[in-house]
Amino acid sequence: MTTQSTIGQRTAKNALFDGFAAVAGAMANGRRAEIIELLAQGERSVERVADAIDQSVANTSHHLRRLARVGLVSTRRDRTRIYYRLTDERVYDLWAALRDVTTRHLDDVDRLAHAYLGDRSEITTITRSELQERLQRDEATLIDVRPRTEYDAGHIPGAIPIPPDKLDELLPQLPTDREIVAYCRGPYCVYADQAVRTLLARGRAARRLEDGYPEWQRSGGLVEKSSAHHRSPT
Amino acid sequence: MTTQSTIGQRTAKNALFDGFAAVAGAMANGRRAEIIELLAQGERSVERVADAIDQSVANTSHHLRRLARVGLVSTRRDRTRIYYRLTDERVYDLWAALRDVTTRHLDDVDRLAHAYLGDRSEITTITRSELQERLQRDEATLIDVRPRTEYDAGHIPGAIPIPPDKLDELLPQLPTDREIVAYCRGPYCVYADQAVRTLLARGRAARRLEDGYPEWQRSGGLVEKSSAHHRSPT
DNA sequence: CTCATATTCAAAGGAATGTTTGACAATAGA
DNA sequence: TCTATTGTCAAACATTCCTTTGAATATGAG
């Protein structure tokens, strides 16, 4: 192998690894990370994304295009709106791996999560498999505390939709003889924490699902859509 | 919830997701990506890393420290040398997820890999499970074409060490009645490709393991270290 | 103690990135 | 065709990042 081809190997190798780095770079911004977490819930229009991450539409469009350029998100046009979504489940796996490694190794993130989610010491969690067992034995009431549109797009079978702001109103209709388990968008979603705190304050036994709906779906759990009738407490 | 606390929520949320982004940012550089791939093979001193990625020691130290700051790599001191390693296996999982998503979605990376690895159309691969079966039935000869130090640090049981530059010399000692399977550092490692090309040119039946040693190890495959005697063809 | 080796630090220039602003394109409905 | 809506593009500024250079630190050997 000549020196020339060795140099060629080096530039080609650089370019290849720069390709991997480009995908990492697409996730290397807090707002884009939020977008990925958000789109894991389902597709969204540019405006709804902009709203959720509290940024201008132009800036959000910029971020979305950067994610699209490396293939992390894809688009669908419907009338005047363009909907963005994660390209496939592997993208979510990548995001979950990033989330795992970060929470495990970056000490700061614990502190940050604490600032965002508040004191979690009173909030106990339940794993997906344990939840499944308890549901089968009818030992728990499962509530979905995400906004209603997300519940309609897909939820864990048997879950009762309790939008974040309706908990107090609907609470009297929840059975009192069983533990209540709340879930929402993922381990860093505030809704489930808030719901559990409220329930505990009202003297109910409550826990939160360890992670959230996308993880349930991704791990092969059954999913129910809202065209089918749900057990609603109304 | 007051406006003030909503703003507080927003800045706390920003900070949390900036934390995830910081870890992604640590991987968002081609040279640092190479470092992760390299350290997946085992620990290395700063100088050896610098050598492998073709960068100055100061710059390499800089990159390594950035990776260490977010917890992706850890250090160990031995006399005057400082050895860097991936903090744990989850870091490798994250890297593998990034590699997977990239190759699947970033069209460019195919072209880049082609420039780096050459035409792979003649090189067929074998999966880990298929390899395991064939080894049990004694239907294949397995060769480890990584540098000898890496073989000594750990290799697939039964593999014969054939350093990249020694293949022609040792080839006559390999059995001719069975297929030869080569493996090295991973799917983007050049050694196995080169070995298979050489073997095919000499008229031998040869394939490469689909990925490489770290994937074998990570998926729970048995590992042999070189204090034990190996089946050497000398 | 002094020297050699291995690694890190600090500063500086140039490149790339993030956000904002205002203008531009594409579509649907009248 | 005209208008309203939705989303993208282009330019500009401030910020951050990458690399290089030369000096500084820490360890072990003599």
CA-nearest of A85, A20, A31 to B35 is A20
Higher pLDDT, A110 or A70: A70
Residue A209 pLDDT:
97
Residue B164 pLDDT:
87
Beta-bridge partners for B44 = B84
Instruction: Give how far the C-alpha of residue A148 lies from the chain's centroid of Cα atoms, to the nearest Å.
Output: 15
Q: pLDDT tens, A120-158?
A: 889 999 999 999 999 999 999 999 999 888 898 899 999
pLDDT score of A226 more than 80: no
Spatial strand order in the sheet of A160-161 = A125-126, A206-209, A179-183, A140-144, A160-161
State yes or no: is A189 an active-site residue.
no
Neighbouring C-alpha atoms within 13 Å toward the C-beta of A150: 22
Judge whether B7 is closer than 8 Å to chain A, CB to CB: no
Q: Are A39 and A84 in contact (CB under 8 A)?
A: yes
Provide the number of CB pairs (under 8 Å) joining chain A to chain B: 177
B/e letters for A30-64, b = 16+ CB within 10 Å, e = fewer, are: bbbbbbbbbbbbbbbebebbbebbebeeeebbebb
Amino acid at A184: C
Q: pLDDT tens, A3-55?
A: 445 556 788 889 899 999 999 999 999 999 999 999 998 899 999 999 999 99
Query: For residues B84 and B73, what is the distance between their CA atoms, to the nearest angstrom?
Result: 6
Q: pLDDT tens, B167-209?
A: 999 999 999 999 999 999 999 999 999 999 999 999 999 999 9
Please name the residues in contact with B8: beta carbons below 8 A apart, sequence gap of 6 or more: none
Q: Are B33 and B102 in contact (CB under 8 A)?
A: no
Q: Mean per-residue pLDDT for A45-71? A: 93
What string of pLDDT tens digits covers the 234 residues of chain B? 434 455 567 888 888 999 999 999 999 999 999 999 999 999 999 999 999 999 999 999 999 999 999 999 999 988 889 999 999 999 999 999 999 999 988 777 888 888 888 889 899 999 999 999 999 999 999 999 999 988 988 999 999 999 988 999 999 999 999 999 999 999 999 999 999 999 999 999 999 999 999 999 998 888 888 754 444 443
Query: For residues B116 and A78, what is the distance between their CA atoms, to the nearest angstrom?
Result: 41
Higher pLDDT, A92 or A110: A92
Footprint of strand C on the protein (CB under 7 A): A 25, 28-29, 31, 55-56, 58-59, 62-63, 66, 77, 79-80; B 45-47, 57-58, 61-62, 64-65, 75, 80-83
Q: Mean per-residue pLDDT for A82-98? A: 94
Query: For residues A187 and A212, what is the distance between their CA atoms, to the nearest angstrom?
Result: 6
| Minimum CA–C1' distance nucleotide for A31 | C18
- pTM equals 0.87
The full DSSP string for chain A is: --HHHHHHHHHHHHHHHHHHHHHHHHH-SHHHHHHHHHHTT--EEHHHHHHHHT--HHHHHHHHHHHHHTTSEEEEEETTEEEEEESSHHHHHHHHHHHHHHHHH-HHHHHHHHHHH---TT--EE-HHHHHHHHHTT-EEEEE-S-HHHHHH-B-TTPEE--GGGHHHHGGGS-SSSEEEEE-SSTT-HHHHHHHHHHHHTT--EEEESS-HHHHHHTT---B-TTS------
Neighbouring CB atoms inside 10 A of B203's CB total 8
B/e letters for B171-198, b = 16+ CB within 10 Å, e = fewer, are: beebeeeebbbbbbbbbbbbbbbbbbbb
Opening angle at CA A8, ends B211 and B144, nearest 5: 30
Q: Gap from B227 CA to C4 C1', in Å?
A: 33
Q: Mean per-residue pLDDT for A84-108? A: 92
Radius of gyration of chain A (CA): 21
Q: Mean per-residue pLDDT for A145-172? A: 92
pLDDT > 70 in chain A, percent: 93
Residue B55 pLDDT:
94
pLDDT score of A227 more than 70: no
Q: Are B53 and A132 in contact (CB under 8 A)?
A: no
Provide the token pair at A58: 């132009």
* Averaged pLDDT score across all residues of chain A: 89
Provide the token pair at B57: 């020691």
Q: Chain A interface, mutation test: which of B5, B102, B104, most A Cβ atoms within 10 Å?
A: B102
Smallest CA–C1' distance to D19, residue: B59
Beta-bridge partners for B144 = B161, B183
Query: For residues A189 and A183, what is the distance between their CA atoms, to the nearest angstrom?
Result: 9
Chain A residues with beta carbon closer than 8 angstroms to that of B90 = 97, 100-101, 104
Query: For residues B217 and B153, what is the distance between their CA atoms, to the nearest angstrom?
Result: 12
Neighbouring CB atoms inside 10 A of A110's CB total 12
